[in-house]
């Protein structure tokens, strides 16, 4: 892989694909070169800080969610370089092969910056927010630097996508407590490891995850891309979060239709799929 390379294939083994389906997540080393991430860091950081919705709210005045991270959406629409990263064929092909689909389209991208002294991210599932008619969705979590334990890397509930823990809970201090109690009761093992520069993790929409606080003097800078099956259809929204996400992320899609809104571009199709579309 060259220094600035978003698109060359990453070879997944059958063992890695099976591990992902069993555990509900996987962390892959060497997805990007350190130079590629450094090339993206400055611009994505500037975009995040410029569009920070909490810029005028002191950290100590925020709620649990606000203390966890700065969150900025749709960076791909704000910067050509951010679009290159979010539209990376390398990432999208990994997502498609992990899901076992003929291709993937975007749900959305976002930056998640945990400020120095930023709080923990509560246990939650992502798909509680998403009106999708199947579980074929996955988030790529892309740190722009190495993330030691004290800087707040992701923790995952191993195999939790096969349970039904916390699926009706939006992210909050309450979800942290209730899900923690449930995973202990049901024997779900929490897995947390530091990330080396260039490592990227992928987790399913129903996989329970959290992150610890950032106890360092440096921000934890992460870019994420959420992929869904290229044939994903819009489910009837089941809660206020799903109603809001329908309006925000796929506004022209009607219930039961494939989510082919301009905000949901196809990012990867397998060679076999290209032959039939």
DSSP character string of 157-190: ETTGGGS-TTTT--SSHHHHHHHHHHHHHHTPPE
What is the average per-residue pLDDT within 98-115?
Answer: 98
109 pLDDT above the threshold of 70: yes
Task: For residues 252 and 263, give the distance between their C-alpha atoms in angstroms, rounded to a whole number.
Answer: 9
Task: For residues 56 and 169, give the distance between their C-alpha atoms in angstroms, rounded to a whole number.
Answer: 28
Beta carbons within 10 angstroms of residue 52's beta carbon: 16
Structural domain boundaries of the chain? 14-249
Residue 3, pLDDT score? 59
Q: Give me the numbers of helices (H) and strands (E) for the chain, helices first please.
A: 8, 11
pLDDT band at 271 (very low <50, low <70, confident <90, very high): confident
Q: State the chain's mean pLDDT as an integer.
A: 96
Residue 272, pLDDT score? 73
Task: For residues 40 and 219, give the distance between their C-alpha atoms in angstroms, rounded to a whole number.
Answer: 15
CA distances 206 to 65, 134, 139, 193, Å, are 19, 11, 11, 20
225 pLDDT above the threshold of 80: yes
268 forms beta bridges with 104
Check if the beta carbon of residue 101 is closer than 8 Å to that of residue 187: no
Q: Is 156 helix (H, G, I), strand (E, B) or coil?
A: strand
Residue 223, pLDDT score? 98
pLDDT digits (tens, 9 = 90+) for 133-191: 999 999 999 999 999 999 999 999 999 999 999 999 999 999 999 999 999 999 999 99
Would you list the DSSP string of 46-67?
HHHHHT-TTTTS-GGGS-HHHH
Residue 4, pLDDT score? 81
192 forms beta bridges with 155
pLDDT digits (tens, 9 = 90+) for 58-105: 999 999 999 999 999 999 999 999 999 999 999 999 999 999 999 999
Check if the beta carbon of residue 98 is closer than 8 Å to that of residue 17: yes
Task: For residues 234 and 256, give the distance between their C-alpha atoms in angstroms, rounded to a whole number.
Answer: 5
Closest C-alpha to 93, from 140, 43, 142? 140
CATH of span 14-249: 2.60.120.620
Closest C-alpha to 154, from 115, 114, 193, 204? 193
């Amino acid at each position: 892989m060259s220094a600035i390379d978003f698109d060359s294939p990453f070879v997944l083994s059958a063992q890695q694909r099976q591990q992902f389906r069993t555990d509900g997540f996987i962390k892959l080393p060497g997805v990007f070169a350190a130079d590629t991430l450094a090339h993206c860091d400055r611009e994505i950081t500037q975009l995040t800080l410029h569009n920070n919705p909490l810029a005028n709210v002191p950290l100590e005045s925020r709620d649990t969610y606000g203390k966890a991270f700065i969150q900025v959406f749709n960076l791909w629409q704000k910067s050509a370089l951010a679009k290159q990263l979010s539209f990376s064929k390398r990432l999208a092909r990994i997502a498609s092969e992990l899901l076992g689909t003929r291709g993937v389209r975007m749900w959305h991208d976002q930056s998640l910056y945990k400020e120095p002294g930023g709080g923990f991210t509560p246990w939650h599932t992502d798909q509680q927010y998403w009106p999708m008619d199947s579980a074929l969705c996955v988030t790529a979590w892309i740190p722009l630097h190495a993330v030691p334990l004290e800087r707040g890397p992701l923790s995952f509930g191993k195999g939790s996508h096969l349970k039904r823990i916390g699926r009706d809970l939006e992210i909050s201090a309450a979800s942290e407590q209730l899900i923690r109690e449930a995973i202990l009761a049901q024997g779900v093992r929490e897995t947390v490891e530091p990330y080396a520069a260039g490592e990227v993790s992928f987790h399913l929409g129903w996989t329970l995850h959290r992150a610890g606080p950032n106890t360092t003097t440096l921000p934890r800078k992460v870019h994420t891309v959420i992929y869904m099956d290229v044939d994903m259809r819009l489910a009837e929204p089941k809660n206020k979060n799903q109603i809001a996400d329908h309006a925000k992320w796929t506004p022209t899609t009607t219930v039961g239709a494939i989510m082919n809104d301009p905000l949901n571009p196809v990012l990867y199709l397998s060679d076999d799929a290209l032959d039939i579309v």
